Amino acid sequence: MRKPRGPRPALIQLTDRQRAMLEQMAAGRRRPHDEVQRAAIILQSADGARTRHLAEAFGVSDPTIRLWRTRWVHAIPQLAAAEVEADEETLDGLLQQVLHDAPRRGRPATFTPEQLCQIVAVACEAPADSGRPVSHWTPRELAQEVITRGIVPSISPRSIGRFLKRSGLETASVALLAQSQPRRGPGAI
């Protein structure tokens, strides 16, 4: 007889109302993919599916399946209380909250959206307007200019190049904003 490996899976029990709402979530085409997948994991776990089977079926790791089972088990008291007191919308919100991934740590953004907009605005100006002796902005010249203007305390030419490339922009040889032609009314030549 084969001995089971790893910890025993968390026992998932669903009320009829929870099952109906999870089935609706799992079938939802307008819901985020992760939420749909997690609802399906909980449903299949409640039906007795094994961790390895679920992991293979959903293309995730065994610890991921265990994580969502455990989160569900920890939320059972809160879900039971909400089911008694709350309406469908509140319970749906709570289910979404349980199935929602926690924010992950990461490096905070180096530059604010305002700073990035100001960098683009400088890139759209003619370098001569800033007293630069170049015909077009280079990443190095642009980095020096935004530092000189106090837009950012420091930025590398490489960062300027990556940002402009990611934005679909390149440093311009002429001022981009100055290129737009004034609109003429009807009948004007």
Give tens-digit pLDDT for 30-68: 888 889 999 999 999 999 899 999 999 999 999 999 999
What pLDDT is attached to residue 179? 44
Report yes or no on whether pTM surpasses 0.95.
no
Average pLDDT over residues 136-152: 93
Reading phi first (left if > 0) and then psi (alpha if -120 to 50, else beta), residue 168 is in left
Exposed / middle / buried, residue 140 (Cβ in 10 Å: 0-12, 13-18, 19+): middle
What pLDDT is attached to residue 147? 95
Average pLDDT over residues 78-95: 84
Identify the band that residue 102 occupies on the pLDDT scale cut at 50, 70 and 90.
confident
Q: Which residue has the higher pLDDT, 44 or 10?
A: 44
Average pLDDT, the chain: 83
Residue ranges of domains in the chain: 16-99, 113-179
CA distances to 2, 54, 130, 134, 139 from 175, in Å: 74, 57, 12, 13, 15
pLDDT at 137 over 80: yes
Sign of the dihedral defined by the CA atoms of residues 58, 59, 64, 65, in that order: positive
Calculated CA dihedral for residues 82, 83, 86, 90, nearest 10 degrees: 80
First-last CA distance in the chain: 91
Sign of the dihedral defined by the CA atoms of residues 173, 174, 177, 181, in that order: negative
